[in-house]
Amino acid sequence: MRPPARRGRRLALPALLSLLTCSLAFALVSKDVKKEVKQSKNLEKSGISEKNDVDLKGIAFVIQSQSNSFHAKKAEQLKQSILKQAADLTQEVPRVLLLHQLAQQEGAWTILPLLPHFSVTYSRNSSWIFFCEEETRIQIPQLLQALRRYDPSKEWFLGKALHDEESTIIHHYAFSENPTVFKYPDFAAGWALSIPLVNKLTKRLKSESLKSDFTIDLKYEGNPVKKKDIFVAVKTCKKFHGDRSHCGKTFAILERFLNHSYDKIAWLVIVDDDTLISISRLQHLLSCYDASEPVFLGERYGYGLGTGGYSYVTGGGGMVFSREAIRRLLASKCRCYSNDAPDDMVLGMCFSGLGVPVTHSPLFHQARPVDYPKDYLSHQVPISFHKHWNIDPVKVYFTWLAPSEEDRARQETRKGFKEEL
């Protein structure tokens, strides 16, 4: 599927949330919701009580894992933690599923393609599907206590509620008159769907197509990658560098990196001229990955996933390539269909055809800090932001991306290393 020749960067609501907001009024657990629940005199009618009997065998855990070896290992560690907690509670072992093992089709990370499978497989023996990321830390007793407050025979969408302070590009400027009315979950905190809601969404998917072609969506370990092992390329617009445009320029960078740079440079990072990025944090993040594997890393979006589309790394937040990923790409015949084509989408299409999955990290950001809820960013150590519009980029860098005291202390111990970038 060829990406649109000309496209704006305004992206529609994430597909799952769009489906939910169009089909029902859903409940998100937040401080406000908890307060309302306590004040409610009609808990039984609302389906909220302390009496609903839920045990671990009634919950299917889905860890939103990725096939990259580092992420698969982290997901397996979380799975073992869940199973150990279940054993400590002397409860029946729950079903714990790794997303990357459930399905190979493009777009499984959006959850939507898997809803029919969940509906058929778990309708009879489960009450809840609980989704979490590999970094989510779960306290099983508290989770059980929370779920027991909700009647599993009703339709529930539970999670930690976030909302935009103002209408933003990442949500297509939705609810611009009052952005706070649109609440959505902090996926990193974990979220749950009751089986009746899973069944309803499955039926809705069969009868209605998604309204948008676009879909939006770590801790460090090991020694940081040396700066000399990272090659950074900055794309500029014609005003500053009128040679090539977009896709043609990007493939020229890829060719130069593979064929004219030192063979020992393991990583290539391509950013826009209005990308703000922390190289020191990127060094630590890349220590998690094996450069001998084909790694295509950044903030993952999706295009046409419901109709044979593909995932891609959005360019504004920065695109990271291992040398092996570039070698496989350039060995193929996949190239730009025009020099001014959207490079990030073409790359996504090419890598999808090669069977190289996008590795997602939420630490890269396509938009400005003000475009994200404070609670969403509060548990991150961000690596990048994008766009200088209506902000002071220097202030944003020092507020969000400048090396911390811990980073500086770590750098002091590494003064002996030769830094070439």
3-state SS of 292-355 is CCCCEEECEEEECHHHCCEEEECHHHCEEEEHHHHHHHHHCCCCCCCCCCCHHHHHHHHHHHHC
Report d(CA 20, CA 193) in Å as an integer: 11
Residue 113 token pair: 């393609």
Instruction: Tell me how crowded residue 241 is: count the other CB atoms within 10 A of its CB.
Output: 13
**pLDDT value for 113:** 85
Report d(CA 312, CA 305) in Å as an integer: 11
Question: Which amino acid makes up residue 358?
Answer: V
Report d(CA 3, CA 246) in Å as an integer: 13
User: Which residues of the chain form CATH 3.90.550.50?
Assistant: 53-207
H/E element, 280: helix 279-286
**pLDDT value for 306:** 76
Q: How would you classify the pairing of strands 214-216 and 95-98? A: unpaired
Residue 216 token pair: 């939006």
* pLDDT mean by block of 10 residues, the chain; 421 residues: 53 47 41 40 47 84 94 96 93 90 80 90 93 93 93 92 67 53 80 94 78 50 85 80 74 93 88 95 93 96 88 96 97 94 96 95 94 86 94 95 66 42 26
**pLDDT value for 107:** 79
Q: Which of 380, 385, 386 is nearest to 133 (CA)?
A: 380
Instruction: Tell me how crowded residue 39 is: count the other CB atoms within 10 A of its CB.
Output: 7
Contact partners, residue 215, CB within 8 Å, separation at least 6: 14, 15, 107, 110, 301, 302, 303, 305
Query: Which residue in this structure is represented by tokens 């390539």?
Result: 321
Report d(CA 61, CA 66) in Å as an integer: 15
Q: Going by CATH, does the domain composed of 53-207 fall within 3.90.550.50?
A: yes
DSSP H helices, 50-194, are: 69-88, 99-102, 115-122, 140-147
Q: Residue 360 in 3-state DSSP?
A: strand
**pLDDT value for 178:** 56
Report d(CA 301, CA 128) in Å as an integer: 27
- Give the bridge partners for 271, in sequence order: 234
Burial of 410 (0-12, 13-18, 19+ CB in 10 A): middle
Q: How would you classify the pairing of strands 214-216 and 59-63? A: unpaired
How many residues in total does the chain contain? 421
Give the fold, CATH level 3, of 230-405. Spore Coat Polysaccharide Biosynthesis Protein SpsA; Chain A (3.90.550)
**pLDDT value for 78:** 96
pTM greater than the 0.95 cutoff: no
